[in-house]
Chains A and B, each alone.
Chain A
Amino acid sequence: MYAFPYQSTDLMRSIRSACREISYSEQPVRMRSIRFFSMAGRTLPVTGLINPALVWICYKENKVEGVEELVILSLLITGILAGGLGALLGLGGGVVVIPILTILFHFPIHTAIGISLVGVIATSTGAAIFYVREGKADIRLGMILELGTTLGAILGAVLAGYLEEKVLYLLFAAMLGYNAYSMYRKTNKGELAASVENQCAVIGIPGYTVRNIPLGLSLSGLAGIMSGLLGVGGGLIKIPVMYLLMGIPLKVACATSNFMIGVTAAASAFIYFFNGSIKTVETVPIALGVFLGTMIGTRINNRISTTALQKVFVVVFIYIAVQMLLKGLGR
C-alpha cells in the first residue's frame, strides 16, 4: 500500500477513524447518523469542510478504503479552482492553492509552496499557449528582468528552508493582505478594473522607452525572492514595477509578466523538486486541475463580470489572510 505521506496528520487520521467507527459499528442506522454528526462536528472547527464531506462519503458508501481517491479528487478540484481563478483574476493561482493546501489539507507549508510553484508554472504555460500574443510581450525586457527574478527565486527557495513555518505563514498573510489591497484599488479605479487577460487584448503598441532599469532589476529580484519563498507568481510586484516604474504600456507589462512568472517559478521549482518537497501523488491532480482550470477560465472570461469577481475576492483574500495569520501565530 502506497504510504500516503500524511497518514499521520489530523486529516487522514480523523477521517480514517471516523470512517472506521461508522462503517464497522453494528448499531442501527439512527445511532450511526448520530455518530456521523458528532464526528463531523468535531472535525469541522479544526480542519474546515473537507473532513465532514469525506466522512459523509465514507458513511454513505460504508467503507474505509478509498480515502486516497477522494483526496486526489479534492486536489483536482482545488487545481481547477486555482487555474480558473488565476485566469479570471489575473493571478498565478498560488494565492489560492497554498491556503487551501495548508488550512484544509494540513500539508506542511514547504510542501504546499513546492506544489504551488508547479501550479504556477502550469498556469503560466497554459495561458501562454492560449495567448500566442506572446508577441506582445517584451521578451527582451523580460529577459533582463529575469536575471534578477531567477536569482531572487533561488535565494527565496533556499531561504525558505531556513525559515520556520510560522514565519512563512505570517509573510504569506502579509502578502495576501497587500494582494487584497491592490485588488481593492483596482476595482475602485475602474480603468484597471478588467482582468489581466482583458487588459492584454492589444490593438497596437505605441513605441516606448524603458526607464529605471537598475531599480526595476532590484525590485524584480525582490519579486523573485517572494516567488521562491512563498510559492506565488510574483506578478503582483512585477506588473506595477514595469507599468508604473519603468514606463511600459500596461498591456505589454501584463504579457511580459506572464512570460516571466513561469521562468521565475521554474528557477525555484527545481530546488523544491530535488528537495523532495514536491510530493508527486498530491501534485499531479493539482497540476492537471490547473491546466483544466486555466482552459475553462480563459473560455468563460468574457461571460463573467471580472469586477464583481474581484470585489468578492477582496473579501475572500482578507479572510484567508486572517486565517494564515492565525496559523502563523500558532492557531
Chain B
Amino acid sequence: MERNTRSTNIIISNVLRIGSGVSVTLMITGLVLFLVQGHTVLSSPGTLHLSRIVRGAAALHPVDLMTLGIFTLISTPFLRVVSAAWVFLLIEKDKRYFLVSLGVLVILILSLLVPGVK
C-alpha cells in the first residue's frame, strides 16, 4: 500500500507537471508573439468558443495561443480530480471515494454549463 501510494503520487505529480508545462509553453509563446508582432487584434472578436480558440491557436494567433494556455491552466485541477478518481477505482479499489470523485467531476463539468452573469 505504501509503495502504491508513492507511485500514484508520482503519477499525479507528473500529470500536473505536464499540464502546467503545456499551459506555460502556450502562454509564453503567445506572449512573445504578441509583443513581437506588434499587438495585432484577436482573430475574431467577442465569441469565446473553444473550437474557434483552438483553431486560432493552431494558426499561431498570439492572443488565441494565450487564451488556450489560460484554459489549459484552469483545466489542470480537473486533471487532478480525474487522476484521483482513477487511482481510487483501479489502484486502491475504493468504490465509495471513486464515486465521490466522480461527483466532484460532475460538479466541475456543471460549472462549464452555467452561463454566469456579466
A residues within 8 Å of B by Cβ? 1-4, 68-69, 72, 110, 118, 121-122, 124-126, 128-129, 132, 134-135, 139-140, 143-144, 146-147, 150-151, 153-154, 157-158, 161-162, 259, 262-263, 265-278, 280-281, 283-285, 287-288, 291
| Chain A contact surface mostly | helix
Q: Which residue of A lies closest to B84 (CB)?
A: A139
B107–A151 CB distance below 8 A: yes
Q: How far is the CA of A121 from the CA of B118 in the complex (A)?
A: 22
Residues of A within 8 A of B104 (CB): 143, 146-147, 150, 263
Which of A151, A262, A278, A288 contacts B27, CB < 8 Å?
Answer: A288
B85 to chain A, nearest CB (A): 9
Residues of B within 8 A of A276 (CB): 48, 118
Q: Which residue of A lies closest to B27 (CB)?
A: A284
B20–A291 CB distance below 8 A: yes
Q: How far is the CA of A134 from the CA of B87 in the complex (A)?
A: 14
Q: How far is the CA of A152 from the CA of B24 in the complex (A)?
A: 28
A230 to chain B, nearest CB (A): 16
Q: How far is the CA of A126 from the CA of B34 in the complex (A)?
A: 25
B residues within 8 Å of A by Cβ? 5-6, 9-10, 12-13, 16-17, 19-20, 23-24, 27-28, 30-31, 34-35, 39-42, 48, 63, 66-67, 69-71, 73-78, 80-81, 84, 94, 97, 100-101, 103-104, 107-108, 110-112, 114, 116-118
- A-B pairs with beta carbons under 8 Å apart, 6 shown: A2-B40, A68-B39, A129-B17, A271-B111, A287-B27, A288-B27
B75–A266 CB distance below 8 A: yes
Residues of B within 8 A of A273 (CB): 48, 70-71, 74
Residues of A within 8 A of B16 (CB): 125, 128-129
| Extra contacts besides A153-B111, A273-B71, A280-B63 (18): CB < 8 Å | A4-B39, A121-B73, A121-B74, A121-B77, A140-B97, A140-B100, A143-B81, A143-B100, A147-B107, A262-B80, A267-B108, A267-B111, A272-B116, A273-B70, A280-B66, A283-B66, A284-B31, A291-B24
